[in-house]
Amino acid sequence: MRKKPGRLRRFLSWNQHRKRWGARRHAVASADLAALKARIIDAGAPVQTRGASKALDQHLQNLRREFSGQSEILFYHAELIVLIRRGHDVAATYRKFRQLWLEEGAFLRAHLNLRWLISATDTFAEHDDDASVRAVAMMASVLVNSVKMFESERYLTHASDATVDQDRVAHLQDRLVPLFEGLSCFTVGTDDTLRNMVWRMEPFTAIEPVGPILRDIWSRLQTEDTVFARFRALHRRDKTRWWETS
């Protein structure tokens, strides 16, 4: 695996300087969060970005359109992440990012999709001074990226077209089916693995400002089309359920 570029290498990289050219124009000294939250972006039909333009102005313009029809504060959140990733006055920009989450975390969690929640936890994991915050943020990022990998494999292999073999579900109830390195198949329908994991995860969800993000992410993964939701539909033992009921 290629080694992550160090600070000196990034400083000497013309590409890195080009990617943050003009950043000062976007780095406001102090944002009026209430005004941003109330203002709705009107940039035409929203289009999700794929990749990033090397020109900062163009990239932010593309991102702004992605948030068309939504609160300006969501774009401001994305803008801060972009400035941090492109190395513009990272310490000061990260302080704004962290303060934004402390003040408006509930609103951000309610309105950001998983893509941007994970962009947020990636940012906390890389830049926060508190090791506990970094650890919880990394838990969230690893969780969603793992789901992304096996759902992508599911798409590539047409696995979504397959049906559950009920004979195998029954077989798992009283037979150990090896996977690798001592791991065995999840006993679909009754297993307590996920419930126990959630119990262990609960104390971490209290760590501000990232714990509530982890909690919300976990909740969403139980209702979107993920392995957790699909196994939830097959689960039948109430005392080992791992999701909250409303």
173 pLDDT tier (thresholds 50, 70, 90): very high
Q: Is 184 helix (H, G, I), strand (E, B) or coil?
A: strand
Asked whether 214 and 114 are in contact (CB, 8 A), the reply is: no
pLDDT at 46: 76
Segment 180-213, tens digit of pLDDT = 999 999 999 999 999 999 999 999 999 999 999 9
Q: What is the pTM of this model?
A: 0.86
27 pLDDT tier (thresholds 50, 70, 90): low
> Taking all residues of the chain, what is their mean pLDDT, rounded to a whole number?
89
Would you give the DSSP letter of residue 210?
T
Q: Is 201 helix (H, G, I), strand (E, B) or coil?
A: helix
Higher pLDDT, 28 or 178: 178
pLDDT at 10: 57
Asked whether 66 and 49 are in contact (CB, 8 A), the reply is: yes
Range of lowest pLDDT (25-29, 38-42, 76-80): 25-29
Across-strand partners of 178?
A: 184
Q: Is the pLDDT confidence value at 155 over 70?
A: yes
